[in-house]
Amino acid sequence: MSLEFVKYHGLGNDFILVDNRASTKLRLTPDRAVKLCDRHFGIGADGVIFALPGQDGTDYTMRIFNSDGSEPEMCGNGIRCLGRFLADLETTDTEVSKQKYLIHTLAGVMTLKLEANGQVTVDMGMPYLLAAEIPTSLVDADLKVIDQPLDVAGQTWQVTCVSMGNPHCITFVEDVAAISLEQIGPQFEHHSAFPQRINTEFIQVVRSDYLKMRVWERGAGITLACGTGACASLIAGVLTGRCDRRATIELPGGCLEIEWAADGRIAMTGPATRVFAGNLEV
Ligand SMILES: N[C@@H](CCC[C@H](N)C(=O)O)C(=O)O
């Protein structure tokens, strides 16, 4: 038996997309996902995303597995890719596709809008800011983690933590290029202050409406972009008085536009690109 997949990327954060609309049972195991993500012995990707039937009134459900086989709650670049994937599938099936989707995720319901210029805008919902919600033991459970000291690799970093459904630890630095991400990223990810591990973003404020970011992702390591990380970083910038509520975030793979609206909801706009399709032996 063979299973068709499509490879997409959002700013170089790349995913294998699987059409799982006919069943709530995953068509691949997490172990198989790990093998497929391998860049030498597999297809190569930062994660595998499944498009499943909707639940609780949504159009579809997204499940994603990181390249280490762990299942995160949400993925910003991945959900934009899912939007394009679903539109392509619907066009193949019926010659028409929706321009707007309600997607069920482990982080809640996300709304996607496919823009005419190829970009995808996602209503990412509200951030979670309390220590218990991240989760982290850095401060008391009912407090926010804003510019708190964290010792990693013999250095004290001032960190701000934000959950976008998945956990992020943000540090503002003078020069993102000077950070030894490969060396310190794993030490942040596995720090005892973060019981569910953590995604780690380093941010350089170029202007109040333009930030540069590098990321070490939980379960995937260095990636070229992270959508939830870009949202969390803008929020950390606002909370610490470093940036505007709307900004461009420049990642190694390109730029995302992020806005934290007055009602507390976060919008992310960026591209989603189809790379190729193939068949897997299952
Ligand atoms: N690259 C993603 C985030 C994927 C999940 C993350 N590695 C985690 O474990 O939380 C994005 O674009 O948001």
Break the chain down into helix, strand, coil percent, rounded to 5: 20, 40, 40
| Strand 221-222 relative to strand 199-207, pairing | unpaired
Secondary-structure class of domain 131-263 per CATH? alpha beta
Whether 233 is in the pocket of ligand 1, judged by its Cβ within 6 Å, is no
Can you give the residue ranges of every domain in the chain? 2-124+271-281, 131-263
**Is the ipTM value over 0.95, yes or no?**
yes
Per residue in 27-59, pLDDT (tens digit) is 999 999 999 999 999 999 999 999 999 999 999
Over residues 266-275, the mean pLDDT reads 98
Q: What DSSP character marks residue 128?
A: B
As a whole number, the mean pLDDT across the chain is 97
From the list 208, 206, 229, the residue with the least C-alpha distance to 217 is 229
Whether 217 is in the pocket of ligand 1, judged by its Cβ within 6 Å, is yes
Known binding-site positions: 13, 66, 76-77, 166, 199, 217-218, 227-228
Is residue 158 within 8 A of residue 151, CB to CB? The reply is no
Over residues 176-200, the mean pLDDT reads 98
Whether 219 is in the pocket of ligand 1, judged by its Cβ within 6 Å, is yes
Which tokens go with 16?
Answer: 């294998």
Looking at domain 2-124+271-281, its CATH superfamily turns out to be Diaminopimelate Epimerase; Chain A, domain 1 (3.10.310.10)
Report the pLDDT value the prediction gives residue 282, as an integer from 0 to 100: 82
Per residue in 106-153, pLDDT (tens digit) is 999 999 999 999 999 999 999 999 999 999 999 999 999 999 999 999
2-124+271-281 and 131-263 agree in CATH topology: yes
Residue 215 alpha carbon, nearest atom of ligand 1: 1
Over residues 228-254, the mean pLDDT reads 98
